[in-house]
Chains A and B, each alone.
Chain A
Amino acid sequence: MTTLGWIILVISWGAIIALSVFCFYKILKVKKDNIHAPLDIDTGDLEEESDKEHNP
């Protein structure tokens, strides 16, 4: 393994890990108003008429 090989490996792995960490940090730190309350979660099992705005 040459020095250039190590540099490429570290940069490639570092870029991917940094992107993944950034994304999951943002996802897990998401604002509360963006999290659906349990009643807002529709599993598709109920035939309710609610939530019409999502199905115009």
Chain B
Amino acid sequence: MQKRENWGTKLGIIFAVAGSAVGLGNFLRFPGQVCQNGGGAFMIPYFISFLLLGIPLCWIEWTMGRYGGKYSHGSLPGILDAVVKKPWAKYVGVLGLFVPLVIFFYYTYIESWCLSYSFFSLFGSYKQIAEPTEMKTFLNDFRGLLPSSNYGLAYTFFLATFIINMVVIYRGLSKGIEFLCKIAMPILVIGAAILVVRILTLGTPMPDKPGQNVYNALGFMWNPDFGALKNPKVWMAAAGQIFFTLSVGLGAIMTYASYLRKKDDVALSSLTACSMNGFMEVILGGSLVIPAAFLFFGAVGAQEMAKSGFDLGFVTMPCILNRIPWGELFGFFWFFLLFLAGVTSSISLMQPLISFLEDEFGWSRQRSATALGIVCFIASHFCIFGLASGVLDEFDFWGGTLAITICAFIEVIVFVFYFGIKRGWEELHSGADVKYPEFLKYVFYITPIYLGAIILYWALFSWAPWILKPFGLDLSIDWSTKFPFLAFDFAMIKPQFVILFTRLGLVWLLAFLLFLIWFAWRRKKVGKVKI
């Protein structure tokens, strides 16, 4: 039987899991969400979601992951098979393969933008650009979205990023992932802290606008608007932020935990990884982009920028960094930090699939990494060249928004109803370095209800409009005043064929993964792979 890998140190897996969680969302998504959802008041639903959703989901993934590792399963199909012990369970686990694979297809491309911008910053490629509109044009030109632009540079950086990822993955758990995360995570913390100090010591950078000072910038971010808490959207935004920031539902945490020994701690390690992610998000992420945007563009400009998502990082920040002394160097820092945050996340995306091939097919890591590398390299091209057509957004919706949420919900249901809360609580505390108060186990009754409510809300207000949009059906209406299907105007239907073909491709991918699961278990049944 092929021997499974193990982590070298306890800090190694904590850094690896935290690295998986800490990504672009900590620095770009979180501050935007705070700003748009009641400022400091947003932290109330944020912490409630952290306690009722984030931490329990992490406990579940760590506990079930280590449990699956005892049976030599590191990916969701095998883990669900070991827990549920029913033939259908492994097929439900297909989402634990589908989600990280689809996200990996586009994530490395976005990651490569960070790498390229760190070089652009260092060599002053966008030094002469001061206004966000021009910076947006620069970004679009780089990504090949303008008629006059080409993909050459973006593609070169994508290749470099892809190779870096593959080298780390190829080197293995301890020598690759753990080694990188143990270096990258401290650099990430220190580098982000240096940037925070730089931003918070800018004082009043524009003397002609004395109101745009650091004091007011912090106020813009943190002054609470408690009236916003009456809006359910704010609560959903907080739950969504917690859900996506902790990288739950990906299967990556489970896979990482499966490489623990059976008496290794998961109770404290999972909480530590959560706290590291929170530190990076609330303290460092919350003190960078939005306060900086306020300093240079004022309240109105910063409010607009908060809605712009990734443009905060690639449009707003370069404009700001261009205006401060040593901007090139700090720009390099900023984008390299985003790149590091991205790499530590993307390498975790590959691990569930590698584990699946190793554990269920008996393949070596090198063989698994090579096969997956080829598949991912080919599929990434759809995102690169289909960016203008919305292929990347489509991958992000199906993999990184819908399937990931359903996958997390399945994990919670399996934990609560098949693993059992009592047994799960005992498993969580097996070999634990910390003992949680007994009453905390009742949170597992709340988590599935909480997550179920979020799924229902998103399905109605976000997913349904997105799914129907390529068919030409616009559901983005105010549901409080009009019942949705009454708004259908079939004469207006204009199908977007690129998007529909992308969806067809994703269905084929899902079917292929289901076939692989069936084939793997069939092989085991006839004794070709020993378990």
Q: Nearest residue in A to B175 (C-beta to C-beta)?
A: A43
- The reply to whether A4 and B282 contact each other, CB–CB distance below 8 Å, is no
Interface residues of A in 1-56 (CB under 8 A from B): 1-2, 4-6, 8-9, 11-13, 15-17, 19-20, 22-24, 26-27, 30-31, 34-36, 41-45, 47-48, 51, 53-56
* Dominant secondary structure of chain B at its interface with chain A: helix
Q: Which residues of B sit under 8 angstroms from A22, Cβ to Cβ?
A: 275
Q: Nearest residue in A to B219 (C-beta to C-beta)?
A: A1
Q: Which residues of B sit under 8 angstroms from A9, Cβ to Cβ?
A: 40, 218, 222
Q: Which residues of A sit under 8 angstroms from B265, Cβ to Cβ?
A: 30, 34
Q: Which residues of A sit under 8 angstroms from B43, Cβ to Cβ?
A: 8, 11-12
User: In whole angstroms, how far apart are the Cα atoms of A34 and B271 in the complex?
Assistant: 17
Task: Report the minimum CB–CB distance from A17 to chain B (whole Å).
Answer: 7
Please tell me if B206 contacts chain A, counting CB pairs below 8 Å: no
Task: Report the minimum CB–CB distance from A26 to chain B (whole Å).
Answer: 6
- The reply to whether A23 and B223 contact each other, CB–CB distance below 8 Å, is no
Q: Which residues of A sit under 8 angstroms from B4, Cβ to Cβ?
A: 44, 54-55
- The reply to whether B278 and A42 contact each other, CB–CB distance below 8 Å, is no
Please tell me if B136 contacts chain A, counting CB pairs below 8 Å: no
Please tell me if B381 contacts chain A, counting CB pairs below 8 Å: no
User: In whole angstroms, how far apart are the Cα atoms of A1 and B524 in the complex?
Assistant: 64
- The reply to whether A26 and B275 contact each other, CB–CB distance below 8 Å, is no
The 8 Å CB contact of A8, one of B41, B70, B71, is B41
User: In whole angstroms, how far apart are the Cα atoms of A27 and B14 in the complex?
Assistant: 10
Please tell me if B473 contacts chain A, counting CB pairs below 8 Å: no
User: In whole angstroms, how far apart are the Cα atoms of A20 and B284 in the complex?
Assistant: 14
- The reply to whether B5 and A27 contact each other, CB–CB distance below 8 Å, is no
Interface string of B220-247 (1 = CB under 8 A from A): 0011100000000000000000000000
The 8 Å CB contact of A56, one of B6, B70, B218, B269, is B70
User: In whole angstroms, how far apart are the Cα atoms of A24 and B47 in the complex?
Assistant: 20
> How many positions in chain B have a CB within 8 Å of any CB in the partner chain?
49
Binding site for B on A (CB under 8 A): 1-2, 4-6, 8-9, 11-13, 15-17, 19-20, 22-24, 26-27, 30-31, 34-36, 41-45, 47-48, 51, 53-56
- The reply to whether B8 and A23 contact each other, CB–CB distance below 8 Å, is no
- The reply to whether B272 and A42 contact each other, CB–CB distance below 8 Å, is no
- The reply to whether B278 and A54 contact each other, CB–CB distance below 8 Å, is no
Q: Nearest residue in A to B226 (C-beta to C-beta)?
A: A4
Interface string of B2-13 (1 = CB under 8 A from A): 011110111100
User: In whole angstroms, how far apart are the Cα atoms of A24 and B434 in the complex?
Assistant: 12
Please tell me if B491 contacts chain A, counting CB pairs below 8 Å: no
Please tell me if B261 contacts chain A, counting CB pairs below 8 Å: yes
User: In whole angstroms, how far apart are the Cα atoms of A8 and B40 in the complex?
Assistant: 6
Please tell me if B283 contacts chain A, counting CB pairs below 8 Å: yes
Q: Which residues of A sit under 8 angstroms from B434, Cβ to Cβ?
A: 26
Chain A to chain B: the 9 pairs with minimum beta-carbon distance, closest first: A8-B40, A44-B5, A1-B219, A23-B272, A5-B223, A43-B174, A5-B222, A20-B275, A19-B275
Please tell me if B39 contacts chain A, counting CB pairs below 8 Å: yes
- The reply to whether A55 and B10 contact each other, CB–CB distance below 8 Å, is no
Please tell me if B1 contacts chain A, counting CB pairs below 8 Å: yes
Q: Which residues of A sit under 8 angstroms from B10, Cβ to Cβ?
A: 27, 30, 35
Q: List 21 A-B contacts (CB under 8 A).
A: A1-B223, A2-B219, A5-B222, A5-B224, A8-B43, A8-B224, A9-B222, A12-B40, A16-B282, A20-B279, A26-B433, A27-B272, A34-B431, A34-B433, A43-B8, A44-B6, A44-B172, A45-B172, A48-B3, A54-B6, A54-B261
